[in-house]
Amino acid sequence: MTSGNKRMVHSSTKHLSWRSIDWKAAQREVRRLQMRIAQAVQEGKHGKVKALQWMLTHSFYAKALAVKRVTSNQGKNYLPGE
């Protein structure tokens, strides 16, 4: 692997532990992006929608919330697609 192929990791998320995540801030940030996406859809700004969707899917907070939601399922009998 050459030095040009290395992926950059944001310094603030590199050593972040699961317990130190500010979950309220994470929910606020994800909700804010979702609201911006909905507003851009209503305004017909398709380029902006695509950019905001990319930001949401690559967001550390969005990924952390998705993992938290799946891991805190506590045995509920719901499986997507069934």
The domain ranges of the chain are: 21-69
Mean pLDDT confidence for 52-73: 92
For 35-48, what is each residue's pLDDT tens digit? Answer: 999 999 999 999 99
Give me the helix-helix angle, 23-43 and 46-57, nearest 10°.
160
Give the model confidence (pLDDT) of 45-58 as tens digits. 999 999 999 999 99
Nearest CA among 52, 22, 21 for reference residue 35:
52
Q: What pTM was estimated for this model as a whole?
A: 0.69
Do the Cβ atoms of 63 and 10 come closer than 8 Å? no
Measure the CA–CA gap between 62 and 31, rounded to whole angstroms: 9
Round to whole Å and give the CA distance between 58 and 42: 23
